[in-house]
Amino acid sequence: MEKKTYNFSEISFKILNEIADFKQVRNREIFKEWFNFKYEINEYDIEFLKKLIALNEYNIFDYSEFQFQLHFISPLLNKIYFYNKHFREWYQPEFLGTINGIILKGKPDFMVASGELEIKKHSDPLRQLLAEMAVAIENNQGKEMRGVYNIGKYWNFVVLEKIGEFKYQYHESESFDALKINDLKKIFINLKAVKHKYCNLISNVNEE
């Protein structure tokens, strides 16, 4: 019997719950460690962030998905620079996995090869991100993933945990407005935390 297959771009609330059990945790305690990362933004980075807002704030609502990726997301991620000898960044890599006998496939907008970060922007970005993160957990035999999705200028960070066979729980942060400098600085630091804390943690484990 041929297995049922979905593209990540098809994932909706209904399909996600057909694939597995995803429950939302209605508190945000899990983000305290992540969002309290001590990183001092230097004056050059602040100028970069201010310029990013200035160049995009009057156009962002008219951007296509590709334009938003090109003009805002890519420059920001390139500034973070997700590279070392153990991981690197990928834009729209081919990605496939099986959960509960259902094949999921597609091209995530962005991912770090270690599996610690994904960014998604589509019609139902949260559910698509959760499906992609669940596949990454299963493929890497892990227990937890971090990710972020955006709807226009608003960014939300997500933690997905595997709590049983085909059972997951996810935590969703408050929204950050990328066109406000203080929020954009927080987005920048939260992404830096992924690079310096969680990806470096994976590097250290791989070296032991």
DSSP, res 146: E
User: What token pair was written down for 29?
Assistant: 């305690």
The phi and psi torsions of 154 (rounded to 5 degrees) equal -95, 125
Integer CA distances (angstroms), 138 to 30, 87, 145, 187, in order? 21, 19, 11, 27
Other beta carbons within 10 Å of 158? 21
Render pLDDT for 1-60 as a digit per residue (tens, 0 to 9).
678 999 999 999 999 999 999 999 999 999 999 999 999 999 999 999 999 999 999 999
Render pLDDT for 166-187 as a digit per residue (tens, 0 to 9).
999 999 999 999 999 999 999 9
* One-letter amino acid for residue 124 of the chain: D
Please compute Rg for the chain using Cα positions: 17
* One-letter amino acid for residue 201 of the chain: L
User: What token pair was written down for 146?
Assistant: 């971090």
CB 55 within 8 A of CB 76: no
Render pLDDT for 89-140 as a digit per residue (tens, 0 to 9).
888 888 899 999 999 999 989 988 665 677 787 679 999 999 999 999 999 8
